[in-house]
Amino acid sequence: MQITFIIPCFNASKIINENNKKLNKFIKKTKIKEKIIYINDGSEDDTLRELKKIKSKNIRIINNKYNLGKSKSIINVLKTVKAKNVVLIDCDLPYFEYLKTTIKNLRKYDLITINRKLKNSINIDKRKNLYKITRNFISNFLGILVEKKLKLNVNGDTQAGLKAFRMNSHIKKNKFFSKYYFLDIELINLFKKKKLKIKLIPVKFKISDQSNIKFFSLKNFKIIFEFFKVLKKISI
């Protein structure tokens, strides 16, 4: 199976090399034909320097001099991908234990996505702080709005950091509007509208207390504006 991994990175210098070794170990075991595209999205640390230490003919590094946003960075790359299958995974490799299952399902489904809201999914996080509780509340609230507006049938979970899909002409031709974090919503909506097969995978999960999104930041207003813009544009 031919797969292109797209991995956006922002200020990930401390984890990028070890996680690359972890991913390559998995690739060798599963014997897939792969290409890994790392996107350094204007990191303010040594992420680019660490990425350049990785020596492999199957790795491509894209460096954004300025922070374009996670979604915008992925969209730019998607237009150039030639592989039949794509895996989108965050640089901290979330839900890594489900990667094999995700890839296996590419033989039957067009889009596979981790879903934390399924009945069989379990939140195993026993240590909850104010940040995690607030983040979970906001995520649930936005998920309810998405389901009410678009009826995606994903129980409101669109932001998990692991997805895989078969490339098709619809993706190449589609006009995406997301810049920051809402490409996932657009992808799921696109596959649903085209009546392609979507597979949701239940998981055991924890709510991360690490995020580039800070509660008290002016950037949040831009993110909220983009959220409603995306809902409006793709619901037409």
Q: What is the pLDDT of residues 73-107, one digit of tens each?
A: 999 999 899 999 999 999 999 999 999 999 999 99
pLDDT of residue 87: 98
Give the model's pLDDT for residue 133: 83
- HEC string of the chain equals CEEEEEEEECCCCCCHHHHHHHHHHHHHHHCCEEEEEEEEECCCCCHHHHHHCCCCCCEEEEEECCCCCHHHHHHHHHCCCCCCEEEEECCCCCCHHHHHHHHHHHHCCCEEEEECCCCCCEECCCCCCHHHHHHHHHHHHHHHHHHHHHCCCCCCCCCCCEEEEECCHHHHHCCCCCCCCCHHHHHHHHHHHCCCCEEEEECEECCCCCCCCCCCCCHHHHHHHHHHHHHHHHCC
pLDDT of 171-216, one tens digit each?
Answer: 999 999 999 999 999 999 999 999 999 999 999 998 776 655 555 5
Examine the pLDDT at 235 and tell me if it is beyond 90: no
- Average pLDDT, integer, range 162-174: 95
CB count, 10 Å around CB of 147?
A: 17
- Which pLDDT belongs to residue 59? 95
Q: In a 10 Å sphere around its CB, with 0-12 CB exposed, 13-18 middle and 19+ buried, how is residue 182 labelled? A: buried
Across the chain, what does the average pLDDT equal? 92
